[in-house]
Structure 1
Amino acid sequence: MKSIILILLTSFSTFCSYAQSPRIFNSQLESVTVYSLGAELNHKAKVSLPAGTSEIVLANVANTVDESSIQISVPSNVTILSTSFSRDFLKNENKSPAYIKVEDSLQFIKRELNKLENKRVVEENLLVLLDKNQAIGGSNTGVNVAELMKVADYYKNKQLELRNNIFNLKEAEALQQKRIARMQRQLQELSLDKSGTSGQIILQLMASTATNADLSVSYLTPSAAWIAFYDLRAENTTTPLKIVYKANVTQSTGLDWKKVRLSLSTGNPSQNGTAPLLSAWFLQFGEPEYAYRNKKLVYQNRIQSMAMPAPEVKEEVLSLMAKKSNGLAVQQNENMLNAIFDIEIPYDIASNSKPHSVILKEFSQPAAFKYYSVPKMDGDAFLMAEITNYDKLNLLPGEANIIFENSYVGKSFINPNATTDTLNLSMGRDKKITIKREKIAEQTGVKFIGNSKKQTFTYEIRLRNGKKEAVDLLLKDQYPVSTDKDMEVELLNAGGASVNKETGVLTWKLKLKPGATENIRISYSVKYPKDKNILNLQ
């Protein structure tokens, strides 16, 4: 009997332990690695575990988590039985403290507006009632002058009072409506802040003995990203180009990142890493088009299902290159697949989807400067910086601010994915170099020769260097290329340019002295049947 009671008590104790609510422990965000799309968050948590099986909840994690990426590090005397993720619905969904404050103020103003509207309606009803009851005495009763004047003054004063009240109330309503509109716009802005929404990781653990354990937690979330942008600075065309490599980091994980160790990776963990495999390509005779399409789709699906995943490859770090250029505390690690920038200064980044600027590197790069112009398309000269060996800079595509001769001149775009050995960076327009392209009317015209029509075009390009130093200018223009045997195109004057006869592109490599001017003329003719028209001839 005693043994039965002992078994029942043990079973009851075990049931009670499972029936108890899981204990909640806060996790502390330690470091974040942000990818081009997504981020890896790393937390620490201190938990107390009883002997046996228990369930705990790690709070204060991101609001969206790839569950398959969750990694938990526990002491050797603790075993993980299961892991799951859920949203924390006990918090105000998508409402940050700032949002709640503005929302409360908005509700108050709406109540005040409702009171004003009620007062106005009452005043308007009184005015209607007053207008309907202006008859004085009965139809058979006369009214003396004194009574008439007295009643007239009353109606006059009362109507004036009511109408003034209505006017003032309408003004007050309009003011409140403007305040409501401003607050609604502010709420729309604050709705991007996801700090009011977080997630939690639920763990089933088994400990051999009661213990206080330090847990390490990491996972991937899609709610963060970074893009590259740059500052390109050049004092003049004889000094090296200064490139400031920056990052715009955004996140909406529901957690404000405060004093975290931040790393930025050029990789993308969400991209499929499975290498494709080819299967045999079997030919077969064709069938009706509809059936062939169906078979083609089935065949493609079959190939896809036969593709086997490539063996897992761990990114082994090949070289570590620690840099502190111009005082920047950034360490750049390069591995087989991507580059990682470790920011040594802790960063604060709010969960509001707004870009937060982070400086990665600053370096000076030797560059060959030259000017480039296509006056047929654009009348300005563009300063170009040519950089070689740019693959060592680990640049990503991104927008660039251009500062030349200590003045902001505009924006450009860096595309390091070019297949050439030289990276051309546009440094913007230089208004000190003037270029004009005009048609010379007296040398442009039409002649009829038998059944043919011959049009001649002559253009003059005038250039002036208004700078204090000589400049190298790459100038381009063009003449048309025939696409029909009935069209005869003749280049009459190339103006000293090198000619690409296949494309019709004319190229000049000019060196303009300070204050110098130069004129270039080009001329070409097009002969074709007079009963035909060429729409894009100019």
Structure 2
Amino acid sequence: MKRIFLTLITALSITYSYAQSPLSFNSRLESVTVYSTGAELNHKVKVSIPAGTSEIILNNMANAIDESSIQVGVPSSVTILSTSFSRDFLKTENKSPAYIKVEDSLQIVKRELNKVQNKRIVEENLLVLLDKNQAIGGVNTGVNVAELIKVADYYKSKQLELRNNIFSLKEAEAKQQERIDRMQQQLQELSLDKTGTTGQIVLQVMATAASNADFNVSYLSPNAAWIAFYDLRAENTSSPLNIVYKANVTQSTGLDWKKVKLSLSTGNPSQNGTAPLLSAWFLEFGEPQYAYDRKKQAYQNRIQTMEARVPMNKEVMADAAQPVLSQLQGKVAGVSIIQNENMLNASFDIEIPYDIASNSKPHSVTLKEFSQPANFKYYSVPKVDGDAFLMAEITNYDKLNLLPGEANIIFENSYVGKSFIDPNATTDTLNLSMGRDKKITIKREKVAEQTGVKFIGSSKKQTFTYEIRLRNGKKEAVNLLLKDQYPVSTDKDMEVELLAAEGAAINKETGVLTWKLSLKAGATETIRISYSVKYPKDKNILNLQ
């Protein structure tokens, strides 16, 4: 009986604890790790926990959370019974001060517009009334000239006054409507600011004794990301290439990140990390689906039985799973940034606290800056584009942990345009386009006197000759990789012959011609290519040129 009584008291105390009002505490955002998609947010919360079981609400969390990623660090005297996430509905209608200011101004302008529209309508109605009452006197009543002139002057002046008023009011309406349109666009932009639309983590906890404690909370939110972009700088083709590695960070988690410790990672925690497996691919003639499923299941069972017979060395597997870490440390503009690398990704730990607003706008963060030896050369395909492009070749680029991204190009202290870095190359050398150089002129023209058609029996033979003229207008010699092409036959009735290529490396499979040229300062050079195509004269080749 005593045991039953104690059990009843315990159950009643737990029920009473749950029936109590939940305890609410505000969290403080300490640090954020931003991934290519999503971010891990880390909070600290100071809580006062009563003895027994209670419900605790942790406020100021992100507005969207992957619930499976929630982790809460608590003292050993506290046991977490359950965790859940909910939106803070009391704050969903919160608006930023800037939004409220514009919204109030918009209401004022709309009221002013309504007043102007009312005035215009009244004036237009008066004009209609005036037009309907232009009959002077009765049918059998005559009007003398003096009265007629007086009435005519009145109608003239009144109509002119009304029409001028209507015109002015329409102009005022247009201006007010323009102001309204601008304000609505501004409101649309300000609506991206998700500050105030936050979330809550609800905990059911049980404590052995009342205490004050620090809870450490971390979770993943999808509403943040970063992308890489770069500045590529070179003084000239003899100097090394200076690469400034930057990041554009955006977030709309509902929380303004204020003075947080920021890390950027090249990983993606939301991506499925399970390696795919292939099962046998059975082809059957008209067999029902259940037969296919039966054979597939039998095959998979057989594979699992075989795997079970293979002994596993768990210690070796555990050792193999440990990441190999390396650490690079440097400073960018006096800011200490530590780059950590493991087998799967790299991260950049920025030592100074950062502020990033929850408005979906990109926030620039400089990650690192380094000088890289580069081999500069020019590249041109005048058949496609008549300009010469400066290319920077760098080796050992895999150590730089570059990501695909846009790059600003500054060459010889001048901004020359944008390029794109794609480090996912399969070669040992990474080619970076440094933009067009107008000081190298290249012209490709058809030589008319050596281009024509000849008829040979039942065939015709077309000959094409092109001349490529190059001039180096720079003060120093340049190396130029020049490419052109001749056609490749796809039919036994087509005979293609390369007549002249003047020192080019020839790829017979693709028809690509490559010249490696060295042009001295102020020098000119001319290259000529010629080819012929012979085919039946009763046929046409549409893309022959």
- What's the TM-score, normalizing by structure 2? 0.89
Query: Secondary structure, in 3 states, of the residue corresponding to 1:90?
Result: helix
Residue identity matched to 1:334: E
Gaps of 5+ in 2: 1-5, 308-313
Q: CA deviation at 1:502?
A: 1.9
Offset from partner CA, 1:445-496 (integer Å, 9 cap, x none): 1111111111111111111110111111111111112222221111111212
CA contact (8 A) 1:230 1:401 kept: yes
Letter in 1 for 2:243: I
**Secondary structure of 2:113 counterpart:** helix
2:267 is aligned with 1:267: yes
Q: Structure 1 residues 324 and 76 mapped into 2: Cα distance closer, same or farther (>3 Å)?
A: same
Match of 1:219 in 2: 219
Q: Distance in 2 between matches of 1:492 and 1:67?
A: 70
Q: Which residue is equivalent to 2:311?
A: none
- Equivalent position of 1:3 in the other structure: none
Measured in 2, the distance between the counterparts of 1:227 and 1:476 equals 34
Q: Counterparts in 2 of 1:92-241, with a 5 A limit?
A: 92-93=92-93, 95-135=95-135, 138-139=138-139, 154-241=154-241
| Cα distance in 2, alignment partners of residues 52 and 337 from structure 1 | 44
The CA distance in 2 between the partners of 1:233 and 1:118, in whole Å, is 62
Deviations 1:320-377 (A, max 9, x none): 2222256342110112211000011211111111111110010000001111111111
- Residue aligned with 1:453, SS: strand
Alignment partner of 1:506 out of 503, 513, 524: 513
How much has 1:293 moved relative to structure 2? 12
Q: Read off the aligned partner of 2:379 and give its amino acid letter.
A: Y
The Cα shift of 1:194 comes to 1.4
Q: Distance in 2 between matches of 1:432 and 1:412?
A: 19
User: Which deviates the most, 193-202 or 161-170?
Assistant: 161-170
Instruction: Give yes or no for contact 2:329–2:336 (8 Å, CA) kept in 1.
Output: no
**Is 2:416 the partner of 1:418?**
no
Identity %, equivalent residues: 80
How far apart in 1 are the matches of 2:12 and 2:276? Answer: 56
- Whether the 8 Å CA contact 1:97–1:196 is kept in 2: the answer is no
Structure 2 counterpart of 1:368, which letter? N
Query: Quick one: structure 1 residues 511 and 10, their matched pair in 2 at CA, closer, same or farther if it must change by over 3 Å?
Result: closer
The offset of 1:43, in angstroms, is 0.7
Structure-2 separation of matches of 1:399 and 1:297: 52
Deviations along 1:491-528, one digit per CA (max 9) or x if unpaired, are 11121212222222211111111000111111111111
Q: Report the counterpart of residue 249 of structure 1 in structure 2.
A: 249
Deviations, residues 400-444 of structure 1 (Å, cap 9, x unaligned): 111111111111111111111111111111111111111111111
Q: Which amino acid aligns with 1:399?
A: E
User: For the residues of structure 2 that align with 1:458 and 1:89, how far apart are their CA atoms?
Assistant: 75
Q: Is the 8 A contact 2:339 2:346 kept in 1?
A: yes
Deviations 1:37-83 (A, max 9, x none): 11000111111111111112111111110000000011111111111
Contact map agreement 1:315 1:335 (CA 8 A) in 2 = no
Partner SS for 2:542: coil
> Against the structure 1 CA distance between its residues 163 and 526, is the aligned structure 2 distance closer, same or farther, given a 3 Å change threshold?
closer
Is the partner of 1:379 in helix, strand or coil?
Answer: strand
Tell me how large the CA RMSD over aligned residues is.
3.2
Unaligned runs of at least 5 residues, structure 1: 1-5
Trace 1:447-466 onto structure 2 (pairs within 5 A): 447-466=454-473
**What are the within-5 Å matches in structure 2 for residues 48-59 of structure 1?**
48-59=48-59
The code of the aligned residue for 2:191 comes to: S
**Given the two structures, how large is their TM-score scaled by the length of structure 1?**
0.90
Q: Which one is further off, 124-133 or 235-244?
A: 124-133
1:167 CA drift (Å): 2.8
Distance 1:184 1:259 in 2: 32
- Letter paired with 1:517: T
Cα deviations by residue, 1:273-318 (Å, 9 ceiling, x for unpaired): 1122344x3755x314x96899599969x979x999x999976462
Counterparts of 1:483 and 1:148, CA distance in 2: 94
* Matching residue's letter, 1:112: E
Task: State the one-letter code of the partner of 2:53.
Answer: T
Q: What is the CA–CA distance in structure 2 between the aligned matches of 1:153 and 1:7, rounded to whole Å? A: 104
CA 1:299/1:128 → structure 2, altered by over 3 Å: closer, same or farther?
farther
Tell me, yes or no, if the aligned pair for 1:33 and 1:263 is still in contact at 8 Å: yes
Residue matched to 1:36: 36
| Structure 2 match to 1:436 | 443
Q: Residue 394 of structure 1: which of 366, 382, 401 is its match? A: 401
1:318 matched to 2:316: no
Specify the code of the residue in structure 2 equivalent to 1:80: I
User: Would the aligned equivalents of 1:86 and 1:200 in 2 still touch at CA under 8 Å?
Assistant: yes
1:484 corresponds to which of 468, 473, 491 = 491
Q: Report if the CA contact (8 A) 1:260-1:347 is conserved.
A: yes
Q: 1:95 to 1:499 in 2, by over 3 A?
A: same
Q: Is the Cα contact below 8 Å between 1:94 and 1:191 reproduced in 2?
A: no
315-324 or 362-371: bigger deviation: 315-324
Query: In 2, Cα distance between the equivalents of 1:489 and 1:216?
Result: 74
Does the 8 Å contact 1:382/1:428 carry over to 2? yes
Q: 1:129 to 1:489 in 2, by over 3 A?
A: closer
Q: Is the 8 A contact 2:20 2:54 kept in 1?
A: no
CA contact (8 A) 1:325 1:363 kept: no
Contact 1:371–1:382 (8 Å) recurs in 2: yes
Specify the code of the residue in structure 2 equivalent to 1:206: M
Q: Using the TM superposition, give the Cα deviation of residue 155 of structure 1 relative to its aligned residue in structure 2, in angstroms.
A: 4.6
User: Which residue does 2:364 correspond to in 1?
Assistant: 357
Q: How far is the alpha carbon of 1:126 from its aligned partner?
A: 2.8
Go from structure 1 to structure 2 and tell me whether the alpha carbon gap of 1:296 and 1:375 turns closer, same or farther (over 3 Å shift).
farther
Partner SS, residue 90 of structure 2 = coil
User: How many pairs are equivalent?
Assistant: 530
Letter in 2 for 1:443: Q
Deviation at 1:137, TM superposition (A): 5.2
Deviations 1:118-151 (A, max 9, x none): 2222232233333334455555566666666665
Amino acid at match of 2:272: N
**Residue of structure 2 equivalent to 1:385:** 392
Does structure 2 conserve the Cα–Cα contact (< 8 Å) formed by 1:463 and 1:518? yes
Q: Choose which of 313, 328, 350 in structure 2 pairs with 1:343.
A: 350
Structure 2 residue 452 is the aligned partner of structure 1 residue 445: yes
State whether residues 92 and 198 of structure 2, in contact with CA within 8 Å, keep that contact through their aligned partners in structure 1: no
